Protein backbone atom coordinates (compact mmCIF):
# COMPACT_ATOMS: atom_id res chain seq x y z
CA UNK A 1 0.00 0.00 0.00
CA UNK A 2 2.82 2.42 0.88
CA UNK A 3 4.42 1.78 -2.52
CA UNK A 4 1.23 2.60 -4.38
CA UNK A 5 0.74 5.77 -2.34
CA UNK A 6 4.36 6.75 -2.95
CA UNK A 7 3.63 6.74 -6.68
CA UNK A 8 0.48 8.79 -6.11
CA UNK A 9 2.48 11.33 -4.09
CA UNK A 10 5.11 11.50 -6.81
CA UNK A 11 2.42 11.95 -9.47
CA UNK A 12 0.79 14.76 -7.49
CA UNK A 13 4.11 16.56 -7.08
CA UNK A 14 4.85 16.22 -10.79
CA UNK A 15 1.41 17.47 -11.77
CA UNK A 16 1.61 20.34 -9.27
CA UNK A 17 5.02 21.46 -10.49
CA UNK A 18 3.90 21.22 -14.12
CA UNK A 19 0.91 23.45 -13.37
CA UNK A 20 3.13 25.94 -11.49
CA UNK A 21 5.35 26.29 -14.52
CA UNK A 22 2.48 27.20 -16.85
CA UNK A 23 1.75 30.85 -17.59
CA UNK A 24 -1.93 30.89 -16.63
CA UNK A 25 -2.60 32.13 -13.10
CA UNK A 26 -5.51 29.72 -12.70
CA UNK A 27 -3.17 26.79 -13.35
CA UNK A 28 -0.83 28.38 -10.84
CA UNK A 29 -3.48 28.07 -8.14
CA UNK A 30 -4.34 24.52 -9.19
CA UNK A 31 -0.65 23.66 -9.00
CA UNK A 32 -0.33 25.07 -5.50
CA UNK A 33 -3.35 23.13 -4.38
CA UNK A 34 -1.96 19.90 -5.86
CA UNK A 35 1.36 20.47 -4.08
CA UNK A 36 -0.52 20.89 -0.81
CA UNK A 37 -2.36 17.62 -1.37
CA UNK A 38 0.90 15.87 -2.23
CA UNK A 39 2.47 17.08 1.03
CA UNK A 40 -0.55 15.93 3.03
CA UNK A 41 -0.51 12.49 1.47
CA UNK A 42 3.22 12.31 2.08
CA UNK A 43 2.74 12.98 5.79
CA UNK A 44 0.09 10.27 5.82
CA UNK A 45 2.26 7.69 4.08
CA UNK A 46 5.78 8.19 5.42
CA UNK A 47 5.27 7.00 9.02
CA UNK A 48 3.81 3.74 7.67
CA UNK A 49 0.20 2.61 7.29
CA UNK A 50 -1.69 0.28 9.58
CA UNK A 51 -4.99 -0.83 8.05
CA UNK A 52 -8.08 -1.67 10.09
CA UNK A 53 -6.57 -0.91 13.53
CA UNK A 54 -7.96 2.40 14.83
CA UNK A 55 -6.12 3.72 17.89
CA UNK A 56 -8.99 3.10 20.30
CA UNK A 57 -8.32 2.20 23.93
CA UNK A 58 -10.46 -0.76 25.05
CA UNK A 59 -12.31 -0.53 28.40
CA UNK A 60 -10.08 -0.98 31.46
CA UNK A 61 -6.86 -0.63 29.46
CA UNK A 62 -4.33 2.21 29.31
CA UNK A 63 -3.10 1.81 25.73
CA UNK A 64 -4.65 0.51 22.52
CA UNK A 65 -3.50 -2.99 21.49
CA UNK A 66 -0.51 -2.88 19.13
CA UNK A 67 -0.29 -2.56 16.18
CA UNK A 68 -2.53 0.47 15.80
CA UNK A 69 -2.69 3.30 13.28
CA UNK A 70 -0.68 6.36 14.34
CA UNK A 71 -3.17 9.18 14.99
CA UNK A 72 -0.59 12.00 14.98
CA UNK A 73 -0.05 12.23 11.19
CA UNK A 74 -3.80 12.27 10.69
CA UNK A 75 -4.23 15.17 13.08
CA UNK A 76 -1.35 16.99 11.39
CA UNK A 77 -3.01 16.51 8.01
CA UNK A 78 -6.33 17.69 9.39
CA UNK A 79 -4.68 20.94 10.48
CA UNK A 80 -2.81 21.27 7.21
CA UNK A 81 -5.98 20.70 5.16
CA UNK A 82 -7.83 23.43 7.03
CA UNK A 83 -4.95 25.87 6.61
CA UNK A 84 -4.59 24.87 2.97
CA UNK A 85 -8.30 25.47 2.41
CA UNK A 86 -8.12 28.98 3.83
CA UNK A 87 -5.03 29.86 1.86
CA UNK A 88 -6.51 28.42 -1.34
CA UNK A 89 -9.64 30.50 -0.87
CA UNK A 90 -7.47 33.58 -0.55
CA UNK A 91 -5.44 32.61 -3.60
CA UNK A 92 -8.58 32.21 -5.70
CA UNK A 93 -9.86 35.64 -4.71
CA UNK A 94 -6.43 37.09 -5.38
CA UNK A 95 -6.31 35.55 -8.84
CA UNK A 96 -9.74 36.97 -9.58
CA UNK A 97 -8.70 40.44 -8.44
CA UNK A 98 -5.48 40.22 -10.41
CA UNK A 99 -7.46 39.34 -13.51
CA UNK A 100 -9.79 42.30 -12.92
CA UNK A 101 -6.95 44.74 -12.23
CA UNK A 102 -4.37 43.67 -14.77
CA UNK A 103 -6.81 42.44 -17.42
CA UNK A 104 -4.95 39.27 -18.31
CA UNK A 105 -4.35 35.82 -16.87
CA UNK A 106 -0.90 35.50 -18.45
CA UNK A 107 1.97 35.66 -15.97
CA UNK A 108 4.32 36.90 -18.68
CA UNK A 109 2.31 40.13 -18.83
CA UNK A 110 2.80 40.85 -15.13
CA UNK A 111 6.37 42.00 -15.15
CA UNK A 112 6.01 45.68 -14.35
CA UNK A 113 7.24 45.19 -10.77
CA UNK A 114 10.10 42.89 -11.71
CA UNK A 115 13.59 44.24 -11.83
Q: Compute CA distances 32 → 13, 15, 38, whole Å.
A: 10, 10, 10
Is 23 near another protein (CB under 8 A)?
no
Count of residues binding another protein (CB under 8 A)? 39
Is 14 near another protein (CB under 8 A)?
no
Least distance in Å: CB of 111 to another protein? 8
Is 6 near another protein (CB under 8 A)?
no
SS (H, E, C) the chain: CHHHHHHHHHHHHHHHHHHHCCCEHHHHHHHHHHHHHHHHHHHHHCCCCCCCCCCCCCCCCCCCCCCCCCHHHHHHHHHHHHHHHHHHHHHHHHHHHHHHHHCCCEHHHCCCCCC
Is 19 near another protein (CB under 8 A)?
no
Cis peptide before 4 (omega within 30 of 0): no
Tell me which of 52, 54, 62, 115 binds another protein, using CB under 8 A.
Answer: 115
Least distance in Å: CB of 102 to another protein? 6
User: Contact positions toward another protein, by CB under 8 A?
Assistant: 16, 20, 25, 28, 32, 35-36, 38-40, 42-44, 46-48, 72-73, 76, 79-80, 83, 86-87, 90-91, 94-95, 97-98, 101-102, 107, 110-115
Amino acid sequence: METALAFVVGGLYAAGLYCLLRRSIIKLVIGLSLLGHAANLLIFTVPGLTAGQPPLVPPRAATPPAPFADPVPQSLILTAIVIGFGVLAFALVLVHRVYQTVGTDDLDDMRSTDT
